[in-house]
Amino acid sequence: MASKMNRANPLLANLPHFLTWRPLGFRTICMGRLGFATQSQLDPDPPTPVAGTKVLDIAQEEFEIGSRLITLETGKIARFANGAVILGMDETKVLSTVAAAKGDAVRDFLPLTVDYQEKQYAQGVIPNTFMRREGAPKERELLCGRLIDRPIRPLFPSGFYHEVQVMASVLSSDGKQDPDVMAANATSAALMLSDIPWGGPIGMIRIGRISGKFIINPTMDELSLSDLNLVYACTKDKTLMIDVQAREISEKDLDAGLRLAHPEAVKYLEPQIRLAAKAGKCKKEYKLSMISDRTLEKVRNLAEAPIESVFTDPSYGKFERGEALEKITQDVKRALEEEFDEESLKVLPKAVDTVRKKVVRRRIINEGFRVDGRRLDEVRPLYCEAGSLPILHGSSIFSRGDTQVLCTVTLGAPGDAQRLESIVGPPTKRFMLHYSFPPFSINEVGKRVGLNRREVGHGTLAEKALLAVLPPEDDFPYTVRVNSEVMASDGSTSMATVCGGSMALMDAGIPLREHVAGISVGLVSEVDLSTGTIKDYRILTDILGLEDHLGDMDFKIAGTRKGITSIQLDIKPAGIPLDIICECLEPALKGRLQILDRMDQEIKVPRTQDDRNSPRLATLKFSNDAIRRLIGPLGVLKRKIEEETGARISVSDGSLTIVAKNHAVMEKVLEKVDFIVGREIEIGGIYKGIVSSVKEYGAFVEFNGGQQGLLHISELSHEPVSRVSDVVSVGQQLSLMCIGQDVRGNIKLSLKATLPRPGSDTNNVVEESVPPVKEEPNIWASVGEVSDEQEKQSSLSEDYKMREVNPSTSVPPVLIRSAAECDEEEKAAASSQNAKSTTSPGGAPKPSRSDCGVFPVKNIKKSKRVLQKDGEKESISILRSEDGDADKEDEFEASISVKNLKIGTKLIAKVYQIRARGLVLDLGGGLRAMYRFEINEKRDFVVGEEIRVECSSFSSKGIPVVSLVDDQ
């Protein structure tokens, strides 16, 4: 302790040792002044020191903010750091330390580094990595580091270019509080205790809002219910930083939140000042790299006139203007070299930049003209293009002036969600926006390495802006990744990413509530040097990169027509009054509405896409045993399906989620899943199977997830077959129709039922065979597969519901009567049969599919002919539409058979085949009918479509001929 005092004040080295004893009350305070502590500050009865025991000089402050007790503590740990503070709130504690490099600084910028780290020990967890230790900084850690950096950087004195490092780490976390704001306040206190010159302290506060009521220092549970996440940092009377994520909060409500946040954040300042008075160090005198007035005046005389001529010419582009300014710098350099002015040459770039800054700012304030000739509230020319890369799920190009971004959207399975390892917050993230800033966007050469703090920060800002308008996960189960590539940069690329990302999401068919746009607002002010107050200022809408560099503020605001979704405010001076900040919200709204109007002209509702590129997502319900069969040992079968089809399969308890690139891939995956796991066995259903053994009387076929069926020799072909081995062989794959069961319980299969009858116009129209009925799951698809009428009936903001097919069961091993044997009893059994459920041979539940579409497709009830239990009769029900007119359905037959089909009978048929001169219709119960096209009649029928018909006659072969009902 004595050595510290000696360094703080050399005079103490000459004092007698006994005068430095703490029992005498002699101590040092900040700024090196000597004094005696009062009796109340001394221990009334100090304990006798024990040999070998270290006595720590601990200073602590306690205060309350928002009904929460907060503590600031120093001197207990990290005592060698230039400044170290532990901030605690409930059971969460954060340590922040600061240190400054020794020696003179030979540079022209402040090398401030802020490192924030969350180690897993803080929540009692061992890292789940190969080395069982934390690796490179995660995205959240980079974002928290930026949150600390942004408010403290403007408060370092001008010309202070010594290297400073801030290290903040979470010591313990109870999961209730987000440690990021705590780390920022601890950093401010540590800087106050250090000898580093700094214009603090600062206070940072988080504000939430639930049911219209603002909440100070909300917990993580409260934030999940809040429609506002506002982080606000300030000094006593000026704003330093704002960061907002909201769900379309209005400008008026945001203004009220900011007005509340400022006095609450100021409450952090006084405890830090008191702590610094107790344990703070004297501020060290560092050498500042300032430009002398003589040098600045000389450079101004040489460069001011040519610089002003460049900035008064709006015809210059970004690079043309840069080349002209570089030429001016070289001319000034040659003039200084002729004068051998080495001092001025060392600071020439900084001096020219200072002159340039004064020229631009003076012209904006005095004349109201900007660098490119625009008015102060004018937005640059806009260009929007959606669907620029049609093979992708979604894409767009957005340009504002010379700034241009290319955004793409990729949809994935729920299992593709990003896994987070943060000590607070959700464990996964299903919406990701990745922002990339390649060097060519500013015509530079650079190297791409790892995560970049700037790229992560800009991408997260755009991600928060778009997250507010995404549909809920229950209605839209996809994982979504937006990738933003900056093609050209001249200011506000993050806000261009918001605009381009919104259009790309709609191009992908994602049902956004509405478009989101972003704009950046700047500020140029004139300050009274004697008082430090702002005398005059101008607000700039849609700032250029040069205006960002030479101005005072970069205020990024994104939102919809209804309200704001995200904000990021960064400033360069040591604070801006809150009134000016709130005044910027109005011009930002006007500029945002202009951009939204232009985006709506390009794409206003989710895009309709063709079947080729539309992704598909299906959710299948299975028993856990069936899922284990599908996955296979160590996931071998699952990986094999993914490799063969290119689809992604996610498995959870009782459900299987499949994401495919298009409809064809989805069908391929479902076919493989059906073969491994099995599906409902239906009479008339067609299944693919493999011949497992060949007998004299037929062949046994393995199909539908390992079930066995008998393909009798009589069902091999329409022609007589002498030997089974002449038609099929072991290992051969066949498409077979289920036609019933024999007396031994074997499932009866037929190959000839799938083959056309020789010499017949129709495909196997026989009474004893039943047409195949293929299940058509409702799958998450694109809008393009919905008819215009359905699209009008569907609300674009709601009604994206997942539909489930009621689970049924498979084939029971009991005797089944054929249709011919049941003709007499069919009519009596029809009414009771429809209310009974079916069961499978093994009693296992049938897998039910819950498949979804971006826009819902009409759900059709399908009463299919299924194998029944013993004693139950076979009945055929007519396909009915859920939204059909009940009054009209009453006049149509509810069941039909060969006996009761008569001329004049009205019924609902299903298109089975489309031919050149007519249709082959499925009437149910194994009956097929013909419909002949009339001249100039529409022929845009679809296989599987239901139509209302009336039996008009019978052909010479007994095939019914029908006509369309007029009220179709």
The two structure tokens encoding residue 382:
């806009």
Shared domain check, 448 and 406: yes
Residue 476 inside a domain? The answer is: yes
Domain boundary among 601, 636, 663: 601
The predicted-structure confidence for 336-380, as pLDDT tens digits, reads as follows: 888 888 888 888 888 999 999 999 999 999 888 888 888 999 999
Query: Is there a single domain that holds both residue 267 and residue 302?
Result: no
Task: Of 7-21, 108-122, 719-733, 829-843, give the lowest mean pLDDT range.
Answer: 829-843
Q: What angle do CA 571, 576, 580 make, to 5 degrees?
A: 110
- Indicate if 454 and 597 belong to the same structural domain: yes
Percent share of the chain, pLDDT over 70: 77
Residue 670 has what pLDDT? Answer: 86
Q: Which two tokens stand for residue 197?
A: 């010159």
- For the ranges 47-51, 140-144, 352-356, 415-419, the lowest mean pLDDT is seen at 47-51
According to the model, what pLDDT value does residue 477 have?
Answer: 82
Q: 68 with 144, same domain?
A: yes
Residue 180 has pLDDT above 50, yes or no: yes
State phi, psi for 330 to the nearest 5 degrees: -65, -35
pLDDT of residue 452: 86
What is the per-residue pLDDT across 439-475, written as a single tens digit (0 to 9) for each?
999 988 888 777 788 999 999 999 999 999 999 988 8
**Cα separation, 316 vs 323, whole angstroms:** 10
**Last residue of one domain, picked from the residues 677, 707, 724:** 677
- The stretch 179-194 carries a mean pLDDT of 96
- Is the Cβ–Cβ distance between 564 and 545 less than 8 Å? no
Whether 42 shows a pLDDT value over 60: the answer reads no
Contact 731, 644 (CB under 8 A): no
Say yes or no to pLDDT of 787 above 70.
Answer: no
Of 419 and 41, the structure prediction assigns the larger pLDDT to: 419
Strands 112-117 and 164-172 turn out to be parallel
SS3 of 300-366: HHHHHHHHHHHHCCCCCCHHHHHHHHHHHHHHHHHHHHHCCCHHHHHCHHHHHHHHHHHHHHHHHHH
Residue 274 CA to residue 277 CA, distance in Å, equals: 5
Shared domain for 131 and 260, answered yes or no, is yes
> Do residue 363 and residue 389 come from a single domain?
no
pLDDT of residue 44: 52
> Tell me: the pLDDT tens digits for 806-858?
333 333 333 333 334 434 444 444 434 433 333 333 333 444 444 444 333 33
Strand order in the sheet with 517-527: 213-216, 203-210, 228-234, 239-249, 564-571, 553-559, 517-527, 534-541
Instruction: Read off the DSSP letter of residue 227.
Output: S
Same-domain check for residues 210 and 303 = no
Q: What is the pLDDT of residue 958?
A: 66
Phi-psi region of 373 (alpha: psi -120 to 50; beta: other; left: phi over 0): left
Residues 180 and 220 occupy one common structural domain? yes
Whether the predicted pLDDT of 141 surpasses 90: yes
Task: Give Cα 199 to chain centroid, integer Å.
Answer: 38
Question: How confident is the model over 26-39, as a mean pLDDT?
Answer: 41
Give the number of domains in the chain.
6
Q: Are residues 529 and 588 in the same domain?
A: yes
- Dihedral angle, C-alpha 302, 307, 309, 312, nearest 10 °: -150
How large is the average pLDDT for residues 240-247? 96
- Distance between CA atoms of residues 939 and 918, nearest Å: 9
Report pLDDT for 967: 54
Nearest to 468 by CA among 433, 441, 509: 433
- Rounded-to-integer distance, Cα 337 and Cα 655, Å: 77
627 in Cβ contact with 792 (< 8 Å):
no
The neighbour count for residue 128, using CB atoms within 10 Å, is: 9
Per-residue model confidence (pLDDT) at position 886 = 37
Q: Is residue 778 part of a domain?
A: no
Poorest-pLDDT segment among 41-55, 198-212, 644-658, 685-699: 41-55
pLDDT at 46: 56
With respect to residue 855, please indicate whether it lies within any of the assigned structural domains: no
CATH number of the domain that residue 942 is part of: 2.40.50.140
CB–CB of 491/380 below 8 Å?
no
Give the CATH number, domain containing residue 649: 3.30.1370.10
Note the pLDDT of residue 35.
42
Q: Say yes or no to pLDDT of 782 above 90.
A: no
Highest-confidence segment of 8-17, 388-397, 517-526, 873-882:
517-526
Phi, psi at 42, each rounded to 5°: -95, 155
pLDDT in tens, 423-448: 898 889 999 999 999 999 998 888 87
What does the pLDDT read at residue 27? 42
Nearest CA-CA partner of 482 in 426, 520, 417, 434 = 434
Domain-located, residue 946: yes
Stretch 77-81: mean pLDDT, rounded? Answer: 93
Of the pLDDT bands very low, low, confident and very high (cuts 50, 70, 90), residue 108 is confident
Q: Which of 367-381, 553-567, 634-648, 811-825 has the highest mean pLDDT?
A: 553-567
Residue pair 394/504 in contact by the 8 Å Cβ criterion = yes
Residue type, 72: L
Q: How many Cα atoms within 13 Å fall on the side-chain side of residue 544?
A: 21
Most confident range, picked from 547-551, 659-663, 866-870, 936-940: 547-551
* 90 located within any domain: yes
State the sign of the Cα–Cα–Cα–Cα dihedral 752, 758, 760, 762: positive
Asked if residue 592 and residue 557 are part of one domain, the reply reads yes
What pLDDT is attached to residue 815? Answer: 35
Does residue 839 fall inside a structural domain?
no
Do residue 622 and residue 586 come from a single domain?
Answer: no
Which whole-number Å values give the CA distances from 84 to 167, 194, 283, 560, in the listed order? 10, 8, 15, 43
* Domain membership of residue 750 as a residue range: 685-754
CB 92 within 8 A of CB 78: no
Res. 879 pLDDT band, cuts 50 70 90: very low
| 569: helix, strand or coil | strand
Note the pLDDT of residue 844.
39
Domain CATH for 312: 1.10.10.400
Strands 698-703, 707-712: pairing kind: antiparallel
Domain boundary among 315, 344, 367: 367
pLDDT at 620: 81
CB environment 53-72: b (16+ within 10 A), e (fewer): eeeeeebbbeeebeeeebeb
Q: Is residue 804 pLDDT above 70, yes or no?
A: no
- Pairwise pLDDT comparison (962 vs 395), residue with the higher score: 395
Q: Which residues contact 390 (CB under 8 A, 6 or more apart)?
A: 613
Does residue 645 fall inside a structural domain?
A: yes
pTM: 0.70
Q: What is the CATH number of the domain that holds 133?
A: 3.30.230.70
Let me know if residue 814 belongs to a domain: no
pLDDT at 248: 94
Q: Which residue has the higher pLDDT, 521 or 129?
A: 521
Report the SS3 class of residue 518: strand
Is residue 593 domain-shared with residue 652, that is, in the same domain? no
Task: Kindly report the backbone phi and psi dihedral angles of residue 231, in degrees, each rounded to the nearest multiple of 5, phi listed first.
Answer: -110, 125
* pLDDT of 10 over the 80 cut: no
DSSP SS3 for 572: coil
pLDDT band at 915 (very low <50, low <70, confident <90, very high): confident
